[in-house]
Amino acid sequence: MEAAFFESDASFDEAKQAFKNQYEMGDVLGEGTYGKVLKARCRQTGLFRAMKQMKLGSHSEEGVPSTAIREVAILKELQHENIVQLLDVFCKPGELILVFELLNSDLKKYMRSLGGKLTPHQVCDFSKQLLTGIEFCHANRIIHRDLKPQNLLIDNGTVLKIADFGLARAFSLPIPQYTHEVVTVWYRPLEILLGSKLYSVPVDMWGVGCIVAEMATGAPLFAGDSEIDTAFKIFQKLGTPNETIWPGVSELPDFKATFPKWQHNSSHGSAKYLRFSFAFASWGSCRTTCFPRGSR
């Protein structure tokens, strides 16, 4: 994959036309504040691609947004069967185009098409692929920081790939302080909900556990309408934390001694699913008990 960057306006226009001539544009697959995603067919290979066109707008004065630069840099390094492949990049003032491999759906849409929860076999298979992909990210010192069903792409109901690395970043030791404005709130771990800026790969594993449970139940575990509401939903199902069970929790910036005191209920259905999901998210256990050597 080679990124195209140019100097003059004339070369910009010529290069953009040459770039787009490589593809036949199709339907709009999605649209948002970032721009839109088009279905495109590569003239050379005949394969369909997902073309993400980002209008930089007012940000163009400051250059390409850091999230886009980060996504390109990370995906160039992460070549794995369970991570979406970035195939081409085109950049000009005010516009950035990323070309990805095209998959049929995402996990959220796929579950909705099946009426909610997945079969035990599908949960096991997709969980293995999710864990394999995120293990590869962590082994290469990358935290995704935004795992959710919408960011997991599904192809033909059998293949799962991790996508959307806009919030991802490389980590190092010692762990520096990061922003806590990461991870969609339903999948955000409690320490970040309570204001911690010191975190590492476990934030992804919390997201994995929540996603595994959602695949099994057909509904999000902690569907709060705000950060505090999501935290309270965690408290209601798993108990309000205290210094006895979580030393240091009272020192987190947004922890309040006046929080309602819910008791842990080990018989609660959601608690059972979450315990199972986090146990399943232990890769060694998953590999040796659910996936014998040689299995998919």
Catalytic residues: 146
pLDDT at residue number 100: 94
Q: At what angle do helices 120-139 and 202-217 cross, to 10 degrees?
A: 170
Instruction: Name the CATH superfamily, with its identifier, for domain 3-101.
Output: Phosphorylase Kinase; domain 1 (3.30.200.20)
Tokens of 262: 């819910």
The three-state secondary structure class of 251 is helix
pLDDT at residue number 81: 95
* Domain definitions of the chain by residue range: 3-101, 105-290
Per the listing, tokens 């490589």 go with: 22
Instruction: Name the CATH superfamily, with its identifier, for domain 105-290.
Output: Transferase(Phosphotransferase) domain 1 (1.10.510.10)
pLDDT at residue number 97: 87
Instruction: Measure the CA–CA gap between 264 and 276, rounded to whole angstroms.
Output: 16
pLDDT at residue number 277: 54
Tokens of 117: 């929860």
Bridge partner list, 24: 41
Q: Residues 288, 290, 295, CA angle at the centre, nearest 5°?
A: 85
Q: List, run by run, the mean pLDDT of 10-residue segments along the chain (296 residues).
A: 53 73 87 81 91 70 70 89 92 83 94 93 95 94 92 95 88 54 78 84 91 94 92 91 90 91 70 55 44 43
Instruction: Measure the CA–CA gap between 134 and 208, rounded to whole angstroms.
Output: 9
Instruction: With beta carbons less than 8 A apart as the criterion, state whether 141 and 171 touch.
Output: yes
DSSP codes, 142-189 = EE-----GGGEEEETTTEEEE---TT-EE--SSPPP--S--S-GGG--
Its pTM stands at 0.81
pLDDT at residue number 292: 42
Instruction: Measure the CA–CA gap between 167 and 276, rounded to whole angstroms.
Output: 27
Dihedral of CA atoms 195, 198, 204, 206 in degrees, nearest 10, equals -50
The full length of the chain comes to: 296
